[in-house]
Amino acid sequence: MLPDWLSPTQIPDVIGPFRIVRLLGEGGAGAVFLAERIEQFTQRVAIKILHPQLFPDSTESGLHQEGQVLAALDHPGIVRLLDSGETPEGLHYLVMEYVDGEPFDVYCDTLSLPIRRRIEILLEILDIVEYAHRRLIIHSDLKPANMMVTEGGKVSLLDFGVASMLWKNQPGEERPRSYSRNFASPEQLAGERLTVASDVYSLGAIAHSVLTGLLPHPVTSNSLHSQPPGTSTAQTATELARMNPVLLKSVAECRKESPNQFLTAMRGDLEAILNKALRIHPTERFESVQEMAEDLRRHLAGYPLHIRPAGWATHAQKWILRNRALAGLALTLTLVVILSLVGITAQTAQAARKRQLAIERLHELATLTDTLAGELYGSVHGLPGSESAQADLLQNAHAAMQKLAAEEFQDPQLDVEIAEEYEKLARIELAQAAKSPQARRQAVEDLNEAIRILSLLPQNEPEFARARQRVPVIVALRDSVNAASAP
C-alpha cells in the first residue's frame, strides 16, 4: 500500500532506464520500489522516491552534492548509490543497488542463530560503519531494516548517509522524521548536531535488540539534558531475568539456549558493552565504532574488555575459558602431581615406619644372638636336655632372622647389620657342628645368606667397602666347613 503522501498517479511506470515493478517498503524519508532495467542487460535496483517536504524549495543541488560523496563510497558491504534525479511530477528519487535478503533481526530470528553468531554478523556491520566514519560520513538512520543479510550470509547496509544528507538539507522543525525512533540517539531526538557517537548509540540499540530480543529503555527528546552522568538505556541482566517467563523461554530458544544459559551469556561483558554504547550522554559512549568492535572481539576471544578493570583473577578466568583443553590438561597434571606427592609421602612414611620396626627387631635379634653366644647359651650347657634347649634357642633366633631378611627394606645399612647377624648365628651353629650335622648345614646356609646380602651392596659407595671386605672371609669360613664335612 502506498503512503498517504504518494498517489498512484505520481508514480511513473518508468524512471530513467528502469521500469517500476512493485513497492518494497516505506519510511519517514520516502517509499522504496523494486525496479528492473528495461534494455541492454538485466539489472534489478531499488528506487527511493523521497518525501516532497524534504525539498520545499524544489532544488536538488544539496541532494546532488551529497549523492556524489555517497557514490564515492567503495565497500562491498555498502549498497551503492547509482543515480539520482527528479520525476516528471517533481519528486526527487535515488537509485540504489537492490539486495535480495532479510533485515538483520529477521535473519537472525528466522535461523535461530546463537548469540555468538549474531555478534559475528554485528561485527561485520560495525566494520562497514567504521569504513564510512573514516571518510567523515555518518549514517544517522541505522536500524535492522537498513541492514540486509542475504541467504549466503553477506551483509549489506542500505541508505548510508541518506538520512544525514536529508537532515542537512532541511534545518528546522518542519522536516519529516527520517529516522527510526526506536534506534535513534537522544541527541537526534533532541534535534541536535549528529556525530559518530550517534551511530554508536544506534548500533548499541540494534545489538541490544538482536541479542536480547528487547528494545532498550525508551528515551525522550529531553533525556539528553535531564539524565545524570552514567545513565544508560540498556536493560540490565537483572531486568532481563525479570522478563515474563514465557517470553524469556521464547527468546532463549530462539538463540538455542536455555533461559539460564541466555541470562548467563548476557551478564558481565555483554552487559558492560551494551551499557557503554547506550549511554545517554554522547561523550560517555565508545569513542568510535572501532573501539566498540574491539571489545566485542575481545569478548568472543575470551580476553578482558578494555572498558572493564581486570585483576589477576579475571585474567586467570579468561585464560582458562580461552584454553579449556590446556587448562584441563594442566589441572589433570596438577592433580596427578598432587596425588603422586601424597602417594610418595605416604610411601615414605610407611617405609620409615617399616624401617624403624626392622631396626627394633634387628636390635632384639642382635641382643638374642649376643646372649646365645654368651651367658644364656652357655648356662644351659651340661644340664639335662641342654642340647634340646640350645637347639630351641638357635631355631627361634634363626626363624626371627629369616622373617627379618624376607622384608624388602631397600636399606643397605640394614642389610649390612642383617648379614652380620647371619654370620654371628652361623658361628654359634658351628659350635654345635661336631654333635649335630643339622647345625653344620644350617651354619652353611646362614653363611651363604650373609655372602649374598653383602655381595648386593652398592659397589660405588665407600661407606660399604669395609662390609664388602668381609665377603672373602665368610667365603673361606664356609668352604672350610664344607671341606670338613666332606667324606
The string of DSSP codes covering 140-191 is S---GGGEEE-TT--EEE-STTHHHHHHHH--SS-SPP-S-GGG--HHHHTT
- In angstroms, the CA 2 to CA 253 distance is 37
Which residue type occupies 30? G
Can you give the pLDDT at residue 280? Answer: 95
Q: Which CATH number fits domain 1-98: 3.30.230.10, 3.30.565.10, 3.30.450.60, 3.30.200.20?
A: 3.30.200.20
| Contact yes or no for 159/139 (Cβ under 8 A) | yes
With CA atoms as reference, report the closest residue to 422 among 377, 462, 470, 383.
Answer: 470
**Does the 101-319 domain belong in CATH 3.90.79.10?**
no
Pairing type for strands 14-15 and 155-157 reads: unpaired
Task: Report helix, strand or coil for 350.
Answer: helix
Domain ranges for the chain? 1-98, 101-319, 353-485
End-to-end CA, the chain: 132
Each residue's pLDDT, cut to its tens digit, for the chain (487 residues) gives 788 888 888 889 999 899 999 999 887 678 899 999 998 888 999 998 988 877 665 555 556 655 666 677 889 999 888 888 888 888 888 898 999 999 999 999 999 999 999 999 999 999 999 999 998 888 888 999 999 999 989 999 988 756 555 545 444 444 445 578 899 999 998 888 889 999 999 999 999 999 999 999 998 777 788 888 999 999 998 999 999 999 999 999 999 999 999 999 999 999 999 999 999 999 999 999 999 999 999 999 888 898 876 555 555 566 456 566 666 666 676 777 777 767 666 666 666 666 666 666 666 656 655 655 544 444 445 545 555 656 666 676 767 776 666 665 567 777 888 888 888 888 877 877 666 778 788 888 888 888 888 888 887 777 778 888 888 888 888 888 888 776 6
**CB 311: neighbour CB atoms within 10 A?**
9
Can you give the pLDDT at residue 115? Answer: 97
Q: 453: Cβ–Cβ under 8 A, 6 or more apart, which residues?
A: 405, 415, 416, 418, 419, 422
Task: Report helix, strand or coil for 24.
Answer: strand
C-alpha cell at 465: 667397602
Does pTM top 0.75 for this prediction?
A: no
Can you give the pLDDT at residue 443? Answer: 83
